[in-house]
Structure 1
Amino acid sequence: MSPLLRRLLLALLLQLAPAQAPISQPDAPGHQKKVVSWIDVYARATCQPREVVVPLNMELVGTVAKQLVPSCVTVQRCGGCCHDDGLECVPTGQHQVRMQILMIRYPSSQLGEMSLEEHSQCECRPKKRESAVKPDSPRPLCPRCPQRRQRPDPRTCRCRCRRRSFLRCQGRGLELNPDTCREMRLSWVLTVLSICLSALVTATGAEGKRKLQIGVKKRVDHCPIKSRKGDVLHMHYTGKLEDGTEFDSSLPQNQPFVFSLGTGQVIKGWDQGLLGMCEGEKRKLVIPSELGYGERGAPPKIPGSGATLVFEVELLKIERRSEL
C-alpha cells in the first residue's frame, strides 16, 4: 500500500471513529467492560518518549558493587509505532539525569550518584540499511574510543570500559575508574606520580635557567666614576658563541661602539652586565638567551634555540649627562 493511500485511510478512520460507539460485550449482568477508544489506543502507540524500566547492571557497566538498590530504574526512552514499516522511532533529543543509587559493597554501603540517559524528543525516521560486510574485512559502525581500554557501545556508540576490566576489578574487590578504565588504587598512584613529575619538571626548569655571569679580566686602581643607567659608554667588544665562534667585534675597524646604558639600545645582558664599570676596565660577560636574543636568535650569525653569548668588553670612556 502506498504511503499516500495509507494516510488517506488513516484520515478517514479518524473522522469515523468519534461517530461510532465502541462495541463492548457484557461482563456480567448489568455491568460492561471498560473499552479504550481507538483514538486513545492510536495516541498511546505513537512514537514518543515513554517510561521504561531498565536494569542498572546493563546501564552502569563501570560501577563496581556487590548489589545496587534498586536493581532497576525507570527512565524516559523513545518507543512506539510509525505509520510506515520503513520507519523506526529514534531519539532526536537526549539529556542526562542524575539518580541516587544505594551501592552495597559488603560490609559497607553508601549512596552514590549515577548518570543515565533520557530521551526528550523522538521522531520516525527511515531505518538504516544494513550493509553487507565481509567477515574478513569488518568495518566498525562506531568511531574508535580514545582510551585503549574502552570499547564503544553498539547501541549508543558511547565509550565504555571493557567488561573484562570490570569483572577483574570486581573479583579483586576494587573500584573501576570509568574515565581511565583502571583500578581506582592504581589510578590514584598514577595521579600522584604525575603531580610529582610535574613539580620536578617545574623545579628543574627553574634551576635550568642560566643567570648572567660577570667576570672582571682587568681592574683599574683609579676609578673616579662608575657607569650607571643613562651614561653614554664608549666600548670595544668581541662577541662569541659558546663553542668559540666569533660573530662580531669592534676591534678590526678600531671603531668603538657608543650607546646609552639602561635605555634599551642594547640587549639586557649588556644593560645589566656593564653597570658599575670603570674606564679602562675589562670584563667577560656570559649572557643566557633570556637576556640576549631569545629563542629566535639573530640569524644567520646567532642561531636560534636559545644561544648563549660570550662577550669580552673594554670600557674606554664614560660620558655622564649633566643632571637637571
Structure 2
Amino acid sequence: MARRVWRWWLLLLMFALVMTRALLEEDLAQEEDEARPFMGMDAPPIGHAVPFAEVWAHSYCRALEVLVEVSREYPGAFPFVVRPACVPLFRCGGCCSDEGLHCAPTATYNASMQILTIRPFHKPEMQEMSFLQHGACECRTRRNGQRRGRNRGQGKGRRKQRGRGCSSCSGSRCLPETGRRACRRERPRR
C-alpha cells in the first residue's frame, strides 16, 4: 500500500514539474515577443526590416493610446494619493508630411474612469473622473509664431519685456530683481 502511494506521489510530482516547465517556457516566449518592438499585427521576424508602407502608416497623424498622469490632467486637485497614477487615453500623435502642419484633434469626447483616492486617516474611495479623449485627428496648419508643445492663452495680460531695465535704471542690460525695485547691477558684491 505504501509503495502505491509513493508511486502516485512520484507521478504527481513529475506531472507538476512538466507543467511548470511548460508554463515557464510559455512565459519566456511571451517575454521575448514583448521585448520585440511592436509594429502591428504582422511584425516581421527579428533581423528583418519593417516595410516602408507599414512604417508610414504607423507614423502618420492619428489617435494613439498613451498613458497620461492623472495629476497632469487635474493639476493641484489632489492633495492625496490616486491609483492608478496614470490612465490610458487616446490622444493625437504622429507626424505630418510638412513641418508647417501639426497633428490636431478634430473630434473629442469625455470618458469616465474609476480612480481610487487614498487620503491619510480615511478609507480609500472610488471616484469617477472624466478625461478628455481624442476621437479623430488630422494634420492642420500651425498658427504664425506657434511652436510645437507651446500653447498661448488669449488675454490682455502684461507681456514680459526683455532688455528693459527697472524704472530707476536706464541700462539695457539691467534686469529688475524679483520683488524689489533695485537692479542687480546696483547691488553691492560680497
What TM-score, normalized to structure 2?
0.51
Which of 103, 128, 134 lines up with 1:119 in the alignment?
134
Give yes or no for contact 1:93–1:122 (8 Å, CA) kept in 2. Answer: yes
Which of 72, 79, 87 lines up with 2:101 in the alignment?
87
Which of 92, 100, 104 lines up with 1:78 in the alignment?
92
Is it true that 1:128 corresponds to 2:143 in the alignment? yes
Give runs of aligned pairs for residues 196-275 of structure 1, distance below 5 A: none
Which of 153, 158, 165 lines up with 1:141 in the alignment?
153
Is it true that 1:100 corresponds to 2:114 in the alignment? yes
Give yes or no for contact 1:87–1:126 (8 Å, CA) kept in 2. Answer: yes
* Residues 280-299 of structure 1 deviation map (CA, whole Å, 9 limit, x = unaligned): xxxxxxxxxxxxxxxxxxxx
Q: Which has the higher contact order (CA 8 A, sep 6+)?
A: 2
SS in 2 for 1:43: helix
SS in 2 for 1:82: coil
- Aligned AA for 2:139? C
Q: Please state how far the C-alpha of 1:32 moved relative to its aligned partner.
A: 5.7
Q: Please state how far the C-alpha of 1:130 moved relative to its aligned partner.
A: 1.9
Q: Please state how far the C-alpha of 1:61 moved relative to its aligned partner.
A: 2.4
Give, in whole Å, the separation in 2 of the partners of 1:130 and 1:37.
36
Q: Please state how far the C-alpha of 1:66 moved relative to its aligned partner.
A: 1.5
Is it true that 1:39 corresponds to 2:50 in the alignment? no
Structure 1 unmatched ranges of 5 or more: 1-23, 25-30, 132-139, 145-324
Give yes or no for contact 2:108–2:132 (8 Å, CA) kept in 1. Answer: yes
Q: Which has the higher strand share?
A: 1
Q: Please state how far the C-alpha of 1:73 moved relative to its aligned partner.
A: 1.0
* Residues 260-284 of structure 1 deviation map (CA, whole Å, 9 limit, x = unaligned): xxxxxxxxxxxxxxxxxxxxxxxxx
SS in 1 for 2:54: helix
Alpha-carbon spacing, 1:32–1:50, altered in 2? closer, same or farther (3 Å): closer
Identity rate, percent: 36
Give yes or no for contact 1:76–1:120 (8 Å, CA) kept in 2. Answer: yes
SS in 2 for 1:85: coil
Give yes or no for contact 2:71–2:78 (8 Å, CA) kept in 1. Answer: no
What TM-score, normalized to structure 1?
0.31
Give, in whole Å, the separation in 1 of the partners of 2:134 and 2:141.
19
SS in 1 for 2:96: coil
SS in 2 for 1:41: helix
Which of 44, 50, 62 lines up with 1:48 in the alignment?
62
Give, in whole Å, the separation in 1 of the partners of 2:100 and 2:136.
20
Q: Please state how far the C-alpha of 1:46 moved relative to its aligned partner.
A: 0.7
Give, in whole Å, the separation in 1 of the partners of 2:98 and 2:121.
54
Q: Please state how far the C-alpha of 1:143 moved relative to its aligned partner.
A: 5.9
* RMSD after superposition: 2.3
SS in 2 for 1:57: helix
Give yes or no for contact 1:89–1:123 (8 Å, CA) kept in 2. Answer: yes
Give, in whole Å, the separation in 2 of the partners of 1:111 and 1:120.
26
